[in-house]
Amino acid sequence: MLATLDTPFADARADALSFALGLPPLDALAVLPVERAGLTVHLRLLGASHQVVAGPLSETVACLPDGAEPLPGRAAATLPGWGYEFTATTSAHEGEPEFGRAVEAVCARLLGRDDALTGAFPGSRHAVTALALDDAGDGTGDGTGAGIGWRTWHAYPQTREIVMTRSRLVRQR
């Protein structure tokens, strides 16, 4: 789903992002609920990036108030009956053409998917935040529905950076 937003792009730089688990649902500009692996996964586009609510987990990557944890490269948690893993990387692009092509490639890959939410902010056609379920999320590859995974992309035209995250929530056996 493509959401054209009329809220100004709030994040100025990738290094302003914070990470939090367990926050209640925050005000969202767009929400896409998707059923997978026996869960309803809510892909939530915030004015300051994203939030995913899936089963017992709430993951927020956004510009959060002072005191929030900075965005880690890796994180893991154990919840009752579940395991969770998170990774984040940032790619920096030398020039505007390379950055634009990278953002457009993400948008094209997600276009028309019923399990993806892309938000386009005003002011720059490359000011984009995107979330999508990841088929490899359960880690088993056997289609048993043991878990769910998602990926996100946060594009920053001002600095030509793209922050990419990958998360997995897996049922403990």
Instruction: Give 136-157 pLDDT, tens digit per residue.
Output: 544 444 445 578 999 999 999 9
Q: What is the 3-state secondary structure (H, E, C) of the chain?
A: CEEECCCCCCCCCHHHCEEEECCCCCCCCEEEEEEECCEEEEEEEECCEEEEEECCEEEEEECCCCCCEECCCEEEEEECCEEEEEEEEEEECCCHHHHHHHHHHHHHHHCCCCCEEEEECCCCCCCEEEEEEECCCCCCCCCCCCEEEEEEEEEECCCCEEEEEEEEEEECC
pLDDT computed for residue 64 by the predictor: 80
Residue-wise pLDDT for 107-117, tens only, equals: 999 999 999 99
0.85 exceeded by pTM: yes
pLDDT computed for residue 143 by the predictor: 45
Residue 90 scores a pLDDT above 60: yes
pLDDT computed for residue 136 by the predictor: 55
